[in-house]
Amino acid sequence: MADQTVAELRQKIAQAREVIEHLMEKSDFNGAEAHRALEYFGSDAFDRNFLPWPHQGEEGLRPEELNAANDD
C-alpha cells in the first residue's frame, strides 16, 4: 500500500474513533461494548472477529435483526 493510502486510512480510523466517542457522550451510552470499540479503533491490531454478529455466510442474527429494546 502506498504511504499516502496508509496515512489516510489511519486518519479515517481516528475519525471513526472520534465519532464513536461523540455518540457515546450524546447518547449517555457508556457501556462495555462502546469502550471495547474505542479501544479497538484506537489500536493498530486487526481482529477479524471484532464484530459481535456473524460475518457474511455465517449463521446468526445481523444488527438489523437484533431487538433494539434489549440494548442496555
In the chain, domain spans: 1-44
Q: Which of 12-16, 22-26, 27-31, 55-59 reaches the highest mean pLDDT? A: 12-16
3-state SS class at 72: coil
| pLDDT value of residue 8 | 94
Q: What is the C-alpha separation between 1 and 5, in angstroms, rounded?
A: 6
pTM check: above 0.75 = no
| pLDDT value of residue 52 | 72
Question: What mean pLDDT is predicted for residues 18-32?
Answer: 85
pLDDT tens per residue across span 37-46: 889 988 889 9
Q: What is the C-alpha separation between 1 and 51, in angstroms, rounded?
A: 25
Question: Which pLDDT band holds residue 11 (cuts at 50, 70, 90)?
Answer: very high
Q: Are 13 and 41 in contact (CB under 8 A)?
A: yes
